[in-house]
Chain A
């Protein structure tokens, strides 16, 4: 079975541009998570969906960030407008049992210049 799929794997953009990150969870998993990882702040949860419904978005930094999950097999994380401090690796993870045993995608390395 394919694991969690994320695209793009690398994204370089200029400050002020819109960035959209994509995630396809493992088939059958009903929970999806977006994380951000930086050296300074470590691995931070941004938002958590269960059955396509956002359960906890308290980690979303500010209004520039938004996430959607229109169906069970696709989710997006959008940053508009992007800023240099958004540079990080963004991971999507999915699970069959809520927060338990999460399977992480390969990540998207975002660089905002």
Chain B
């Protein structure tokens, strides 16, 4: 039931773009994105509700394709501060209100 994130890890240079995907085998009501830096707590980035909504946070944006049961996180012109592990949390339609987190995507931005 855990959503599947891909890739597991990505390394890029400052200024490059990256895409992180989150896929579910079950119908989704919402998708939540968090970032966790090493040794710190996860920090909320954004929520996407069903309806194909796209949201943004600085140069980080995301989309939610309800039919495909997947969400993608787009990091544009990456900065060093974007390094960390990105988690998607999924809320399934018709189930108790809770988030199930994926295993995370480790993003490393090099100078």
Contact = CB atoms under 8 A, between A and B. Distances in A.
Do A and B truly interact? yes
A12 interface: no
Interface in B14-42: 30, 32, 40-42
B64 to A, nearest CB: 14
Interface in A54-68: 55-56, 58
Contacts of A43: 42, 87, 101, 104
A22 to B, nearest CB: 16
A45 B99 contact: yes
Given A48-B98, A99-B98, A91 B2 contact: no
B69 to A, nearest CB: 18
Interface residues of A, number: 19
Given A42-B103, A43-B87, A100-B32, A55 B44 contact: no
Interface string B93-111: 0001111111110000000
A98 B96 CA distance: 11
Judged by DSSP, the binding face of B is loop
B44 A101 contact: yes
Nearest to B44: A101
B92 to A, nearest CB: 11
Contacts of A104: 41-43
A55 B43 contact: no
Given A43-B87, A100-B32, A107 B98 contact: no
B47 interface: yes
B104 A91 contact: no
Contacts of A106: 40-41
Contacts of B102: 42
8 contacts: A42-B2, A43-B42, A45-B98, A91-B42, A99-B97, A99-B98, A99-B99, A104-B42
Interface of A: 42-45, 48, 55-56, 58, 91, 98-107
Which 10 A-B pairs rank lowest in CB-CB distance, beginning with the nearest?
A104-B41, A43-B101, A42-B103, A104-B42, A101-B44, A56-B96, A99-B97, A99-B99, A56-B98, A106-B41
